[in-house]
Structure formats: structure tokens, C-alpha cells
Structure 1
Amino acid sequence: MQLKTQTRPKVLTVQVMEDRIDAATAIQFKERMRDITKTGDQRVVLDLARVQFLDSSGLGAIVAVKKMLGPDRPLELSGLTATVEKVFRLTRMDSIFTIHPTVDVAVSHATGT
């Protein structure tokens, strides 16, 4: 699972460089996210713009990362494709996560600019 990170003053952005998060990649995704986020206290924005497919295992992995970060370190999402957005909407996870249209919007929201 290839993830690209960028650290900014109040936010860590993590871009998923794969086109799917599914049963075959969910465990690796969680492990990589744990490694990436184990230090720091900034909010985390997960950029899903390249992800075209997300199954229940992938959704579960994203929820697990949110739980792992805890209540004081939010996990926000950005760039959901129509297919991925539908999964979040149908499972009502769109009410659990803050979802931004783009990374830039998420970063400006996080930094208050």
C-alpha cells in the first residue's frame, strides 16, 4: 500500500496512491497508517481522490484508523470519488467523518485560513 504524506503546521495529509482499498489491502493500509501517524498531534486528512473502489474491509480499515487516532486527533477525509462517496453515504459514515471536497479545502479548514 503506497501512501504519500505531507506534514504542515497543523495538519498531516496522507494521499492514498492506490485505486482501491479492499480486503486484499485493508490490513496493510491500517499498518501503514499506524506507522505514519504514531508521532505528532496534528489532525490527519486522508486524501482518497485516487481511490475508485472501497469495500467493507476498506471502510472498516478507515474506521479503525479513526479509532486508533482517538477523539483528540481527528481523521478527516477529502477528494472522495463518486463511488467511494456512495459507500460512505449508504453506510451513514458520512455523518461520522468530516468530508472535504479537496485536500486544499481540508487544509484551509484545519489551519483556519
Structure 2
Amino acid sequence: MSTQLTLTPGRTADGSTLLTVAGEIDMSNSASLADAIEGAPAPLVVDLTDVEYLDSAGINVLFAHAERIELIAPPLLRPVLTVSGLARLVTVRPPRPDDGPVTP
């Protein structure tokens, strides 16, 4: 059974390409995340604010695209991103009020 994952493309207030991710990222749906990242123009802001779970399959997808992404991550995910080493390769910033998408 697949875990619920929502991927919504858009743009940030400053015009950057945005991928808003919500739900759980695991082995059952990490390919969908990879496809969404690969299909978006770089540089890409990946907003993980509403991600409730992130396993190694999801981390591997983010590592594979580290050179072209920036992450918005809530406090829940920051330790995972730090321990995995991903936070050393990509910019990881906390959610800000102006991070919401401007266009869907």
C-alpha cells in the first residue's frame, strides 16, 4: 500500500521554482518525489514544511538532487537532514511566513 504524498508545484514570492511536499516520504512513493524534482527547473526550492515522515529512500532522492535544490524544513526534519549529512550539501532553512506559493 502506498503512503499518502502530495506534490504541488508553484513559485515562491520571489519567483523561485517551488515544490511543496506534504505527507510521508518513504520507499513506496520516493520515485514520485524524484520525478517531480527532475521535472522542475533548477534551482528548485523544496518545501518540506508539511512532511510528517522522511525515511532513507526520501533522503536518497534529496541527495541525488543536492546540487539543484534548497530545502525548507520544519524543526521535526532538521535533525534527520543534519545527521544524514544533507544539510552540509544544501541550504536548509526554516519555514517563513512569505514562503507560501504565489502561483500553483
Range of TM-score over shorter length: 0.7 to 0.9
Q: Identify the residue that residue 70 of structure 1 maps to in structure 2.
A: none
TM-score scaled by length of structure 1? 0.70
Matches within 5 A, 1:2-21: 2-7=6-11, 10-17=15-22, 19-21=23-25
Q: Which runs of 5+ in 1 are unaligned?
A: 68-73, 106-113
The residue aligned with 1:108 is none
Among candidates 63, 72, 75, match of residue 78 of structure 1: 72
Question: Structure 1 residues 79 and 87, CA, compared in 2 at 3 Å: closer, same or farther?
Answer: closer
RMSD (Å) for aligned C-alpha atoms: 2.3
Q: Deviations over 1:28-54 (max 9, x none)?
A: 21012222x1xx45x211000111111
Aligned to 2:34: 30
CA displacement at 1:64 relative to structure 2: 1.6
> Counting strand residues as a fraction of each chain, which structure ranks higher?
2
TM-score normalised to structure 2 length: 0.75
What is the aligned residue count? 94
Larger fraction in helix:
1
Q: Name the residue aligned to 2:52.
A: 52
Q: Which runs of 5+ in 2 are unaligned?
A: 100-104
Q: Runs of 4 or more off by more than 3 Å in structure 1? A: none
Question: In 2, distance between residues paired with 1:95 and 1:65?
Answer: 13
